[in-house]
Amino acid sequence: MALIVQKYGGTSVGSVERIREVARRVATYHQQGHRLVVVVSAMAGETNRLLALARQVATHPSERESDALVASGEQVSAALLALALQDLGVKASSFLGHQVRISTDSAFGRARIRSINKDRLLVALDRGTIAVVAGFQGVDSDDNITTLGRGGSDTTGVALAAALSADLCEIYTDVDGVYTSDPRIVPHARKLERISFDEMLELASLGAKVLHIRSVELAKRYKVPVHVRSSFADVEGTLVVEEDKPMEDILVSGIAHDRDQAKITLLRVPDRPGLAARLFGPIAAAGIVVDMIIQNASADGTTDLTFTVPRGDFDKALSLVKGQESTIGAHGIATDLNVAKVSIVGLGMRSHAGVAARMFDVLAAEGINIQMISTSEIKISVVVDEKYTELAVRALHDAFVAPRTGDEPRQGSTP
């Protein structure tokens, strides 16, 4: 009999009927003798509805009030799930951030959890009560309501599992696991039974939207096994765990892609010390996350400096760069919004040489030009022209993960 934290996303609790379905699933676990903490997101669409109201009353809604406003969404779904559970004859209570107490810093809209008081939840569990916790929210030291930002309810789930030393954190979502690639691009992508925290981190940060990177980081730090699975089908999903045994035969676990990329190049910059600091200081100060940076020194003492940012930050980044252009001494700025990042991820790369070379070969064979390269111990990313995204993903998937067999249906894929 285990202590299990389950997290249900917005679509899983998107209607009264779905809340009742979730209640039945939770009650089944409860009847099996498990101790359960259930974290819920707001009903699908509710957060956007509330934010739309905020924008109707204020041109620039303040973060503190926006957090108090949207946190009501999880309050509603938590209370409704507790009611639905009680209706099935099991004991259940809802808990908000201030009731659990999930303490955060005061960074409204993107707060980070500082500590969780597990006492009240343990009292409930000891009484045989299912604790339904409103995800996404906490309180700062002044009792202000804070929200955790994107992927916040995943983070709540994993953080609670860590605080309670839960045996497992199940993340119920609208997909049934982590795939070797996006099935919309690679129809024969297969579901991974098991993946390491490190691989999942790379996949999460590279655009596989299944599990938010913050919750994976947290799971890795506190060694919380996470089971990503579907709330709409009763099948096993993907278990995200500590790397427990070498799986040398598996070189690459997955191919990820990310179209949310924009490229900025400063042309023929005098190659002097301090250049990067002067350029990227203001960009970091503006809260823009720079992803890849490459710099090629030329023989004439100048360098082309290229970096990528999320497309939503492109305009801001460009104006900051333009402000620095003359002091840095660049001879022009080039930009490209039609780029995408394609990555291969796998623990197996650590002990295999030549993976990068093989990756470049595969892309070259398809006539895909590589614009930028970035590598880590367990991943290799390349920036390519956006129009080659699907072609690159499919070619790399065939080469590294699972070659398409002849008898498999093509399902519209055009390799």
96 counts as binding a second copy under rule CB under 8 A: yes
Distance CA 166, CA 160 (A): 8
Residues 6+ apart with CB under 8 A from 272: none
Look at residues 135, 75, 138, 134 and name the one whose alpha carbon lies nearest to residue 106: 138
Give the 3-state secondary structure of residue 345: strand
* Residue with smaller CB distance to a second copy, 49 or 331: 49
* Residue with smaller CB distance to a second copy, 68 or 107: 68
295 counts as binding a second copy under rule CB under 8 A: no
Choosing from 6, 12, 47, 66, the residue that interacts with a second copy (CB under 8 A) is: 66
122 counts as binding a second copy under rule CB under 8 A: no
117 counts as binding a second copy under rule CB under 8 A: no
End-to-end CA separation in angstroms for the chain: 48
Choosing from 26, 27, 36, 80, the residue that interacts with a second copy (CB under 8 A) is: 80
58 counts as binding a second copy under rule CB under 8 A: yes
Distance CA 381, CA 370 (A): 10
20 counts as binding a second copy under rule CB under 8 A: yes
Distance CA 367, CA 395 (A): 11
Note whether 364 and 335 are within 8 A (CB).
Answer: no
127 counts as binding a second copy under rule CB under 8 A: no
Rg (CA), the chain: 23
23 counts as binding a second copy under rule CB under 8 A: yes
Q: How do 3-8 and 168-173 pair as beta strands?
A: parallel
Q: How many helices (H) and strands (E) does the chain have?
A: 12, 18
* Residue with smaller CB distance to a second copy, 39 or 391: 39
Which listed range, 82-90, 167-175, 213-221, 225-233, lies at the site for a second copy (CB under 8 A)? Answer: 82-90
Distance CA 139, CA 101 (A): 7
* Residue with smaller CB distance to a second copy, 99 or 413: 99
* Residue with smaller CB distance to a second copy, 91 or 316: 91
**Any idea which residue has 């605080």 for tokens?**
163
141 counts as binding a second copy under rule CB under 8 A: no
38 counts as binding a second copy under rule CB under 8 A: no
284 counts as binding a second copy under rule CB under 8 A: no
# of chain residues touching a second copy (CB under 8 A): 40
Choosing from 25, 29, 34, 76, the residue that interacts with a second copy (CB under 8 A) is: 76
* Residue with smaller CB distance to a second copy, 8 or 400: 8
94 counts as binding a second copy under rule CB under 8 A: yes
CB of 112 to a second copy, least distance (A): 21
119 counts as binding a second copy under rule CB under 8 A: no
72 counts as binding a second copy under rule CB under 8 A: yes
CB of 283 to a second copy, least distance (A): 29
Looking at residue 152, the DSSP 8-state letter turns out to be H
Return phi, psi of residue 353, to 5°: -80, 160
Note whether 68 and 142 are within 8 A (CB).
Answer: no
Q: How many residues does the chain have?
A: 415
Residues 6+ apart with CB under 8 A from 263: 306, 307, 308, 335, 336, 337, 339, 371, 372, 383
Structure tokens at 372: 């930028």
98 counts as binding a second copy under rule CB under 8 A: yes
CA separation, residue 131 to residues 3, 91, 120, 135, 163 (Å):
11, 9, 9, 12, 14
26 counts as binding a second copy under rule CB under 8 A: no
93 counts as binding a second copy under rule CB under 8 A: yes
Catalog residues that contact a second copy under the rule CB under 8 A.
16, 19-20, 23, 50, 53-54, 56-62, 64-66, 68-69, 71-72, 75-76, 78-84, 86-87, 93-94, 96, 98-99, 143-145
